[in-house]
Amino acid sequence: MRARCVVRPVDDENVEVRIGPDPLTSPEIIAFLQAHLDQMREISPPESVHALDLDGLRAPGVWFHSAYDRAAGGPVGVDELVGCGALKRLDEAAVELKSMRTAPHRQGEGIASRLLVHLLDQARQLGFGRINLETGAEDFFAPARRLYERHGFVVCEPFGDYRPDPLSVFMTREL
- Taking only the tens place, the pLDDT of each residue in 77-91 is 668 999 999 999 999
The pLDDT of residue 127 is: 98
Query: Mean pLDDT, to the nearest integer, of 45-72?
Result: 91
Nearest to 144 by CA among 175, 117, 107: 107
CA–centroid distance for 136 within its chain: 14
| pLDDT for 100 beyond 80 | yes
Query: Mean pLDDT, to the nearest integer, of 31-59?
Result: 94
| pLDDT for 1 beyond 80 | no
| pLDDT for 7 beyond 50 | no
The pLDDT of residue 161 is: 94
The pLDDT of residue 154 is: 98
pLDDT band at 75 (very low <50, low <70, confident <90, very high): low
The pLDDT of residue 137 is: 95
The pLDDT of residue 173 is: 98
| Residues 86/115, Cβ–Cβ less than 8 Å | no
Show the domains of the chain with their CATH numbers: 5-174 (3.40.630.30)
Residue 38's identity, in one-letter code, is D
| pLDDT for 2 beyond 90 | no
Distance CA 45, CA 134 (A): 15
Return all residues near 166 (Cβ < 8 A) that are at least 6 apart.
Answer: 137
The pLDDT of residue 5 is: 41
What is the pLDDT of the chain when averaged over all its residues? 89
Question: For 110-168, what is each residue's pLDDT tens digit?
Answer: 999 999 999 999 999 999 999 999 999 999 999 999 999 999 999 999 999 999 999 99
